[in-house]
Amino acid sequence: MSVNRATKPTFLFGLMTLLFATSPLVSQAQDRFDYNQYAETIERLGVPNGERIRELRVAALALYESGRYSEAIDALDTWAQTADFYVKIVSQGVPPADVAPLGGASLNEMRQFTSAIQAANKEMQKFIDERDLAMVMLAECKFYLGKTEEALSAFLNVLATMETKDKSTWTRASTGLYSIVGFVSPAF
C-alpha cells in the first residue's frame, strides 16, 4: 500500500496529536498548576485530621443512635467525605515504588521505607473503614425514613465502591440491600 506524500505528514501529525493528547503527562500537567483545585473541598470540609474525623464520628453516631435519622444523614455524609478526603491526602504522600531505595541502599534504609509505607497504608485503611461504615449508616437512615429508592441507591453505591476490610460493615450493607428487595441470603 502506498501513502500519498501529501497525506503522510497529516496522518503522522494526527497520530502524534492523538498519542500526545492521551498521554498521562499531558493530563497531569493540566492540573499541576491549578493550585486551588482542592480549595472548595477544604472550604467545605475543613482540614481533615484524625481528631476532626473522631469528632465528626462521635456527633454522627449520637444522632444515628438516638434515632434522629434526618439529621444523621448530613452528619454521616460529612464524616464519610472528610474521612475519604483524609485518605486521599495521606495517599498523596506515599512515595511511588520507583522512589524506593534500591541498589546501594542499606538494609536500614529499606526497612524505614517499608515501615513508612506500611504506616500510611494502616492509617488509610482505618479511615477507609470509617468512610464505608458512615456510608452504610447513611443508607440505613434513608431506609428508616421510608426513602426506599434513595436507600437502595445508597446501598448499591456503597457496595460498589466499598474498600473496607471490616466484614461486619460489608454484611450490614448487603443485609440492608437485601431487605429492600426481599432477598433472604444465607448467613455470611
Q: Letter for the amino acid at 163? A: E
For 60-79, the pLDDT digits (tens) are 999 999 999 999 999 999 99
pTM for this prediction: 0.79
CA distance 180 to 187: 17
Quickly state the pLDDT bin for 187 (edges 50, 70, 90): low
Which pLDDT value is given to residue 17?
Answer: 41
CA distance 137 to 72: 9
Three cell numbers, residue 179: 431487605
CA distance 42 to 85: 9
CA distance 34 to 40: 12
CA distance 94 to 182: 43
CA distance 113 to 94: 10
**H or E stretch covering 30:** helix 24-32
Half-sphere exposure (CA, 13 Å, Cβ side) for 162?
24
Quickly state the pLDDT bin for 20 (edges 50, 70, 90): very low
Q: Is residue 183 over pLDDT 90? A: yes
Q: Would you list the domain boundaries of the chain?
A: 37-181
Q: Which of 3-17, 80-94, 123-137 has the lowest mean pLDDT?
A: 3-17
